[in-house]
A = this chain, B = another copy of it.
Amino acid sequence: MREQTIGSWLGELASAEPAPGGGAVAAMHAAMAAGLVSMVCELTVGRPKYAEHEATMREVLKEAAERREEAVGLAEEDAKAFKGVTDAYKLPKGTDEEKASRTKAIQEALVEAAEVPLRTAALAAGILELAKRIRPGANVNVLSDVAVAAVSARAALQAAAVNVAVNRASMTDVVARARLEAELARIGDEVAAAEKFIKEIR
């Protein structure tokens, strides 16, 4: 995906192929959030006015680059996990045995598919933390980019929640459903925290 052109990727997103879809978009929001955090650090390091924040900026610079790579990786993984679900739905359902085995495969694939947006949400929450860490010492000329990074991280969280919820809706396992319910509540809290942070900067 890193080597794909933006035009081509957007074209695939818009196509009848169901992947890339909402899951990849959630991860791309996180990638852009991490990219903006990096940019703010880059425009702050090495400037005497912000010398006391130099160490923080250098640390965050390293972490943000890693988070950006992870985000692109998750956009790719989402397509695979999605394929797992659609493949399971395509299994034969002629006999009772086939039906049972298909149902089991679908349920397993759904649990796996929900893991990707959960990881996207965790990643976005981590990027939001990076934005919070750099805010006090960020070059004031690019403070608005810290805010946009938070907007993108918020979008990644909210989009991830949509994707977790849609997988959860098809699950029959009570324990798995309850766990995802709790995760969704946590992501909801993170979205609210992101919104508060955006308002504070503005």
Q: Across the interface, which residues of B come within 8 angstroms of A162, CB to CB?
A: 144, 147-148, 151, 198, 202
Q: Contact at B38–A14, with CB atoms within 8 Å?
A: yes
Q: Across the interface, which residues of B come within 8 angstroms of A163, CB to CB?
A: 144, 148
Can you pick out 28 interface pairs between chain A and chain B where the beta carbons lie within 8 Å of each other?
A: A2-B5, A2-B6, A3-B5, A3-B6, A4-B5, A7-B72, A10-B32, A13-B35, A14-B38, A14-B39, A14-B42, A16-B39, A16-B42, A16-B43, A18-B39, A18-B142, A22-B36, A22-B144, A26-B148, A29-B29, A143-B166, A144-B163, A151-B159, A152-B155, A152-B159, A154-B158, A158-B198, A165-B202
Q: How many copies does the complex hold?
A: 2
Q: Contact at B10–A72, with CB atoms within 8 Å?
A: yes
Q: Does A126 contact B (CB under 8 A)?
A: no
CA distance A13 to B30 in the complex (A): 13
Q: Does A145 contact B (CB under 8 A)?
A: yes
CA distance A42 to B142 in the complex (A): 39
Which of chain A's residues 160-186 have a Cβ closer than 8 Å to chain B?
Answer: 162-163, 165-166
Q: DSSP majority for the A interface?
A: helix
Q: Across the interface, which residues of B come within 8 angstroms of A198, CB to CB?
A: 158, 162
CA distance A64 to B4 in the complex (A): 22
Q: Contact at A25–B159, with CB atoms within 8 Å?
A: no
Q: Across the interface, which residues of B come within 8 angstroms of A155, CB to CB?
A: 29, 151-152, 154-155
Chain A, interface size category, equals 35 or more
Which of chain A's residues 32-61 have a Cβ closer than 8 Å to chain B?
Answer: 32, 34-36, 38-39, 42-43
Query: Shortest CB–CB separation between residue A26 and chain B, in angstroms?
Result: 7
CA distance A142 to B21 in the complex (A): 9
Q: Across the interface, which residues of B come within 8 angstroms of A144, CB to CB?
A: 22, 162-163, 165-166
As a 0/1 sequence over residues 58 to 89 of chain A, the CB contacts with chain B under 8 angstroms (1 = contact) are: 00000011001000100000000000000000
